[in-house]
């Protein structure tokens, strides 16, 4: 921000690439807004899942991921989770997917994989496709989700009797998700709230 001030910029638009409006987003927002008086205009966009339309668009993308599932297959998504009150975003998204073979859990908060395993045991699903619900498939996806470690989600699901296939592809690689972030940035540039 100081470099932008030094170079004489007067209007600054910041589009964070966070999934939920959690503590990391709050930090980015507060850090940016410390410079609000240094610019004629400083706007910060909202995270990916900020309003009902965002949820609906993410669900439309998830429907594309799940469109070729067999009747005995389900999609399980690993969100990061948060100690911030916005951890409820994951439960809300999971609830909105209730009629679909798509489930959302979080590695560091609720809904937990142990609860989902209990739900899946009562279902007719035999095969699970694990995807990260994260911008990049980093440490959590590689180790906590897809590794052969006994506590990984893959291992826990396999011990329960499911056949598991893992996908180490962050949602940031999906054009549909990129477009949602671009929409959020466009909204602030037009002077409209996107939350």
Whether residue 129 contacts residue 69, with contact meaning beta carbons closer than 8 Å, is answered with: yes
- 53-59 long-range contacts, Cβ below 8 Å, gap at least 24? 54/180, 55/92, 55/93, 55/96, 57/176, 57/180, 58/93, 58/177, 58/180, 59/93, 59/96, 59/97
Task: List the catalytic residue out of 80, 84, 95, 163.
Answer: 80
Alpha helix (H) ranges present in the chain?
A: 2-6, 23-33, 52-66, 88-96, 113-121, 139, 153-159, 175-189
Q: Clarify whether 95 is annotated catalytic.
A: no
Give residues with Cβ within 8 angstroms of 107, minimum separation 6: 78, 79, 80, 81, 113, 140, 144, 145, 153
Closest CA to 182 of 54, 38, 96, 3: 54
Q: Enumerate the active-site residues.
A: 80
């Amino acid at each position: 921000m100081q470099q932008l001030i030094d170079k004489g910029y007067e209007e600054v638009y910041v589009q964070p690439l966070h999934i939920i409006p959690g503590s990391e987003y709050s930090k980015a927002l507060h850090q940016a807004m410390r410079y609000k008086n240094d610019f004629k205009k400083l706007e910060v966009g909202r995270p990916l899942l900020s309003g009902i339309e965002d949820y609906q668009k993410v669900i439309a993308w998830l429907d594309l991921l799940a469109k070729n599932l067999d009747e005995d297959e389900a999609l399980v998504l690993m969100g990061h989770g948060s100690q911030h009150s916005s951890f409820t975003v994951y439960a809300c998204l999971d609830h909105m997917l209730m009629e679909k073979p798509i489930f959302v859990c979080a590695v560091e908060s609720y809904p937990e994989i142990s609860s989902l395993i209990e739900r899946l045991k009562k279902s007719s699903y035999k095969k699970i496709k694990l995807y990260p619900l994260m911008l990049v498939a980093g440490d959590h996806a590689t180790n906590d989700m897809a590794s052969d470690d006994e506590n990984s989600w893959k291992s826990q699901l396999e011990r329960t009797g499911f056949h598991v296939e893992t996908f180490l592809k962050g949602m940031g690689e999906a054009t549909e998700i990129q477009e949602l972030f671009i929409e959020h940035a466009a909204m602030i540039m037009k002077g409209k709230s996107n939350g």
